[in-house]
Amino acid sequence: MAIELKDLTKSEDNYSQWYNDLVVKAGLAENSAVRGCMVIKPYGYAIWEKMQAALDGMFKATGHQNAYFPLFIPKSFFSREAHHVEGFAKECAVVTHYRLKNDPEGKGVVVDPDAKLEEELIVRPTSETIIWNTYKNWIQSYRDLPILCNQWANVVRWEMRTRLFLRTAEFLWQEGHTAHATREEAIEEAMKMVHVYEDFAQNWMALPVVVGHKSPNERFAGAEDTLTIEALMQDGKALQSGTSHFLGQNFAKAFDVQYVNKEGKQEYVWATSWGVSTRLMGALIMAHSDNNGLVLPPKLAPIQVVLVPIYKGDEQLADMRSRLNRIADELRAKGLSVKVDDRDNVRSGFKFAEYELKGVPVRLAMGPRDVENGTIELARRDTLTKETVPQEGLAERCAALMDEIQKNIFQKALTYRNSMITKVDTWDEFVETLNTKGGFISAHWDGTVETEVAIKDATKATIRCIPLDAEDEDGKCIFSGKPSKRRVLFARSY
Amino acid sequence: MAIELKDLTKSEDNYSQWYNDLVVKAGLAENSAVRGCMVIKPYGYAIWEKMQAALDGMFKATGHQNAYFPLFIPKSFFSREAHHVEGFAKECAVVTHYRLKNDPEGKGVVVDPDAKLEEELIVRPTSETIIWNTYKNWIQSYRDLPILCNQWANVVRWEMRTRLFLRTAEFLWQEGHTAHATREEAIEEAMKMVHVYEDFAQNWMALPVVVGHKSPNERFAGAEDTLTIEALMQDGKALQSGTSHFLGQNFAKAFDVQYVNKEGKQEYVWATSWGVSTRLMGALIMAHSDNNGLVLPPKLAPIQVVLVPIYKGDEQLADMRSRLNRIADELRAKGLSVKVDDRDNVRSGFKFAEYELKGVPVRLAMGPRDVENGTIELARRDTLTKETVPQEGLAERCAALMDEIQKNIFQKALTYRNSMITKVDTWDEFVETLNTKGGFISAHWDGTVETEVAIKDATKATIRCIPLDAEDEDGKCIFSGKPSKRRVLFARSY
C-alpha cells in the first residue's frame, strides 16, 4: 500500500487528472477489475463511515428507522411506473441465470443454460418499486401512516463513462422512502429532508450548497417535484450532491397502495424518496483539496491530529515515542482522533507530505529542541501555516483548532462559491460567462422544457435549480426573451 | 403494520412454523416478491444494527479497518481456485446483460439482446476472489503486510430452500479478509477472530457456543482449515453461527500475490477470511424465544424498557403520560433505551402481549393505585414474573436488571445446551440419541471423510466441529470401529 507522493498532477494543469490522482494516491479508492466498479479503500471508507454515522443520526433524530429491501427487482415491477422505467431501463444490470456449470469443453465454468430465470431480475438502481410493492402489505389504515424508512445499500446503474466516486456503476448510498396520508405531509417531508442534507453538507462537509427545486427536465424519473442541494467545485462546475423527491401518488397508484382514512374512505398514499451517495466523497475532495492533497474538514477526518517525531537514533526515538504517546492520550481525552507515526523506515519529510496528501487537519512535530523548550511544532493543513507552540495547553488548543479549521474551510468554500454566482441578463453574457468564468449563472428562464433543452444543447449548461430563496423579479428569458418571474441557477455540472 | 398477536404457533406443535410466525409477527422480517430474498423490517434491522455496532467495535479493537469491494465478480475469477468454484458455482446469480429496452411488441420492457456482457458477472457469494485480485496490487513487500480488512456487504447464494434469516438467497454479512507474511500469523489471526465471534455470541447474544475446527468435508471451499462457533437451538438442532478460515496460500497462488520478504526473496502471501451474517438473527430468535414471543438479551434489544399506562379517560392518561415520561427520562439518563407507549386506541392487555411478542426485557405498567402508593409494576420478559416495586430507585433497579437478565438468558441457554451434549460410544446409542433426544453427540470418529459422509447419509447428522478443548482420549469410531484419538461433536443442523 505504498503511497506515491511524487507526480501529483497540478489542478491548474489538468483538473480531472488532479482529482483522480488525489483519490488514488491518498488511498481513498481505485478502479477494480470490474468495469465501472470501484474499490473503496480503508482511508476512503473511514471518511464514508463518518458521513454515514452523522447522516444516520440526523435521520433517526427526525423519526426515521432503517430497514433493508431486496437487491433484486423483478423486471415487471419496473414497467409499472412509466417515467421510472423510462429513466432507468437503459442502465440496468440484469440477472438472467442462477447457476454456473463446468464447461463441457473443459475451459473453466460457463453459465448453465438450464438455469434460466423465468423472469429476469434487475439489480436495483433505486428501490421505489420493490419498496412500494412491500408497503402495499404494510398499509391498511391511516393509523399505519406515516411510514418513515431509510435503507443503507449498494445500487447499480450501468454508466458508460465512470469516474471514481462521482459516477460509478455500483455505488453506496442511503435511500429514504416514506409514505404519508396527505399531500401536504409528504411535501413537508421532502422539504425537511433536503434541509437535513443542507445541514449535513454545510456543517459536516464544510460545503456550501444552494437548495432549490429541479426544473421539470431534471426531475427524478417518477417524481412530481425534486429538491436538490447543489455545490460548486473549484473548477467552476456544479455538483448535484443530494436530492429529495415528492413522488405524489405515482408509486402508490402503480402498486395499488391505498389506505382507509379517518372518514372510512379509500385513498392512495403519498410518497417521498431522498438519497445521498458516495458521490459526496467526490464533492468533499473536489471542493476543498489543493495541489498538496486533500483538505479534510475535521468533523469527517479519520485522523484529526498526527504526531511525528524528529529524532536521531533509536534512543531518541524511544524517548520521543513515549513523550508523543503521552500527548496523544491527552488529545484523545479531548475526543480527538489521533495517530502517532513512529515509523523508523521513512523520513519525517516523507511523513509530512503523506499527511498533507491525506488531508490530516493538524500535524504536530517534536524535535530535540522542542523537548528542551517544552514546545512542539503545529502545522495546519487548511492554511499550510506552521508555528511553535507550548506543550502546555496543547490538547485545549487542538480541540479549539478543530472548530476553527472546520469554520475556515467552510468560509473559504463559501467565499469562492459566492464569487462564482454571476447575474447575467443577455444570451451573449451568458455564453461569455460560462466559457470564461464558469460557476453558477443566475438568469431568467421562461419556464419551458423546450428552452431548457435548447440551452443545454447549445452550451452544455443545465438549470441546476430554482433556489428556494429566489426572489420574485420580473425579467425576460435570456434565451427566448419571453417573460420570467424569477431567476434560476444555470451551470455546467458533473 | 398491524401485529397479529393471535395464532402464534406453539413451538411444541410445529417448531418451524413457530419460528416463522415469530419472525413475521414480531415484525423482524418477511418474504419479498423476489424468490428467497427477504425484507428486513425496522424492528429486525434495529437488532441487526446493534449486532453490527458491537462486532464492528470488536473488529476495530483488534486492528481491522473497513473497506468496500465490488458487488460483481468476473466469471473467470471464480475458476481460478478449484475448490472455491466447485463450492459456489451451483448457486450463483449471473448478470449477463446491462440494458433493458421497450418491448417491440409493446408489452413493457425486455432485455436488450444488443447489451450482452462480454464476460458474465457473478453477484458475489463471498469475496475472496475479487479481494485477492485487488490485494495483488497492494502488496509488494513485507512492509505492506499484514492487511487487515473487513467489509459489511450483501451477498447472494441461490439457495433452493430458503427460510427467513437462516437461509436466504440474499443476506447481509461481514467478511474479513486478511493477508499475512507467515503461515503462523495467519493461523493466529483465524484463531483470534473465531474467539471474537465466541465473545460476541456469548456476551452480546447470550448464546453459548462450542468453538472448534470443521472436519475436512465441512470446510469452506478453498480453506485449509475452518474454525466455527456452533450453537444449539431449542429443538436440539445445531446452528453454525460464524466461521473463520485459514486459507493457506490458495488464493495468493490463484491470483499470484507474492511479497518480498526481509531477506529479499519472493514468497506467496498467507490468507484468512471470516464472517458472520444475518443468520445470527435466526440463532438469536431460536435460542431464547418461547410461546409468547421473542426473548431478547438486553444488550441487543432495540427497546430495553417499555412503559405502559393503565388509565381511564383522557385526564388520567394525560397525568400518566407526564409521570411516565419523567420516569423514562430518568431511565434514559442511565443509558437505557426506553419507549413510552401512550397509544389510546389499543388496550393495555394488547400492549402487554405486543411487547412480550417483541421480546422487550422489562415492562413497567403504572395504574392509579401505583400513583397513590408511589409504586409501579415491573414485569420481566425472561422469567415472565411480575412484582410491584417502589418508583424510588427505579432507574438503578432497571439498569441492574439489564445485567441480571442478560446473564439469566445466557445461563438458561447454557444449562440447556450442556444438558444436550450426550457422550455415546456405540452406533446404536448414536442413532437412538439422535432420534429421541437430539442435541450434540460427543463421539469418536476415525478422521476419514468416508466415515463422515456415510454417517451423514445414514442419519443426516454431521460433524459440527472438533472442539478446541477436546481432550486426548483413545477410543473407537462409532461407525467404523477404527481407532480415534478424541471425540468430536455430531448433530443435525440448520
- B240-266 core/surface letters (b: 16 or more CB in 10 A; e: else): bbbbbbbbbbbbbebbebbbeeeeeee
- Partners of A111 on chain B (C-beta within 8 Å) are 75, 94, 96, 120
Q: What is the number of residues in chain A?
A: 494
Q: Which of A98, A156, A170 sits opposite B92 (nearest CB)?
A: A98
> What pLDDT shows up at residue A83?
86
| Rounded average pLDDT over B133-154 | 98
E-only strand ranges, A278-374? 305-309, 338-340, 362-366
**Distance (Å) from the C-alpha of residue A181 to the closest C-alpha of chain B?**
14
For B346, the closest chain A residue by CA position comes to A143
* Residue A203 predicted with pLDDT over 70: yes
Q: Which of A66, A78, A140 sits opposite B45 (nearest CB)?
A: A66
8 Å CB contact of B72 and A37:
yes
Confidence of residue B5 (pLDDT cuts 50, 70, 90): low
* Per-residue pLDDT tens over the stretch A151-202: 999 999 998 899 999 999 999 999 999 999 999 999 999 999 999 999 999 9
For residues A143 and A145, what is the distance between their CA atoms, to the nearest angstrom?
Answer: 5
Q: Considering only CB atoms, which chain B residues are within 8 Å of A172?
A: 68
| pLDDT for res B2 | 46
Four-residue CA torsion sign, B165, B167, B170, B173: positive
Nearest CA to CA, how far is B469 from chain A (Å)?
36
Query: What is the rounded average pLDDT of the residues A407-417?
Result: 98
Tell me the pLDDT band of B82, cut-offs 50, 70 and 90: confident
> In the predicted model, what is the mean pLDDT of chain B?
96
Residues 6+ apart with CB under 8 A from B107: none
CA–CA separation, A449 and A457 (whole Å): 12
Cell of B320: 400518566
Query: Residue A1's pLDDT band (boundaries 50, 70, 90)?
Result: very low
Contacts of B111 in chain A (CB under 8 A): 75, 94, 96, 120
pLDDT tens digits, residue range B315-346? 999 999 999 999 999 999 999 999 999 999 99
Predicted confidence (pLDDT) per residue in B27-77, tens digit: 999 999 999 999 999 999 999 999 999 999 999 999 999 999 999 999 999
> Would the CB atoms of A40 and B79 count as touching at under 8 Å?
no
Q: Which residues of B touch A133 (CB under 8 A)?
A: 33
Average pLDDT over residues B344-367: 96
Cα–Cα distance for residue pair B83/B92, rounded to 1 Å: 15
Residue A3 has pLDDT above 80, yes or no: no
Minimal Cα–Cα distance from A336 to chain B, Å?
17
Question: Are residues B49 and A66, on separate chains, in Cβ contact within 8 Å?
Answer: yes
**Model pLDDT, residue B108:** 83
Cβ separation A154–B156 shorter than 8 A: no
pLDDT value at residue B6? 63
Q: Which residue of B has its CA nearest to A172?
A: B68
Using CB atoms, pick whichever of B46, B130, B138 lies closest to residue A65.
B46
pLDDT tens by residue, A273-295: 999 999 999 999 999 999 999 99
CB–CB contacts below 8 A, A to B = 210
Q: CA of B80: which chain A residue's CA is closest?
A: A108
Cβ within 8 Å, pair B38-A70: yes
Report percent pLDDT > 90 for chain A. Answer: 94
Does position B4 have pLDDT exceeding 70, yes or no? no
Q: Do B41 and A95 touch (CB under 8 A)?
A: no
Provide, as residue numbers in chain B, all residues whose Cβ is less than 8 Å from the Cβ of A173: none
In the predicted structure, residue A12 carries a pLDDT above the cut 60: yes
For the segment B181-198, the average pLDDT, to the nearest whole number, is: 98
Helices (runs of H) and strands (runs of E) counted in chain A: 14, 27
Q: How high is the pLDDT of residue B1?
A: 40
List phi, psi (to 5°) of B436: -105, -40
User: Do A344 and A317 touch, CB atoms closer than 8 A?
Assistant: yes
A40 to B122: CB separation less than 8 angstroms, yes or no = no
pLDDT at residue A6 tops 70: no
Instruction: State whether B93 and A153 contact (CB < 8 Å).
Output: no
State the Cα–Cα distance between residues A465 and A442, nearest whole angstrom. Answer: 10
B-chain residues within 8 Å CB-CB of A98?
A: 91-94, 158
Element (H, E) at B117: strand B116-123
Closest residue on chain B to A90 (Cα): B99
Q: What is the CA radius of gyration of chain A?
A: 26
Query: Looking at beta carbons, which residues of chain A come within 8 Å of B164?
Result: none
CB contact under 8 A, B75 and A42: no
Name the pLDDT band for B234 (thresholds 50, 70, 90): very high
Residue among B1, B100, B137 whose CB faces A94 most closely = B100
Confidence of residue A330 (pLDDT cuts 50, 70, 90): very high
- What is the band of A5 on the pLDDT scale with cuts at 50, 70, 90? low
* Residue pLDDT, tens place only, A334-375: 999 999 999 999 999 999 999 999 999 999 999 999 999 999
Residues of A in contact with B95 (CB under 8 A): 93-96, 123
**Of residues A34, A92, A154, nearest to B154 (C-beta):** A154
pLDDT at A160: 87
Taking CB atoms and an 8 Å cutoff, what residues of chain B touch A178? Answer: none
Query: What percentage of residues in chain A have a pLDDT greater than 70?
Result: 99
Q: Cα-flanking dihedrals φ and ψ of residue A260, to 5°?
A: -95, 120
CB contact under 8 A, B79 and A49: no
Report the candidate in B331, B290, B303, B267 with the shortest Cα–Cα distance to residue B413.
Answer: B290
Do the chains contact at A345 and B70, CB–CB below 8 Å? no
| Partner-chain residue, chosen from A109, A154, A345, that has the shortest CB–CB distance to B75 | A109
| Range in A74-83, B151-160, B237-246 with the lowest mean pLDDT | A74-83
Instruction: Compute the C-alpha angle A307/A310/A313, nearest 5°.
Output: 125
**Which positions in chain A touch B38 (Cβ < 8 Å)?**
70
Helix H or strand E encompassing A256: none
Residues of B with CB below 8 A from A95's CB? 93-96, 123
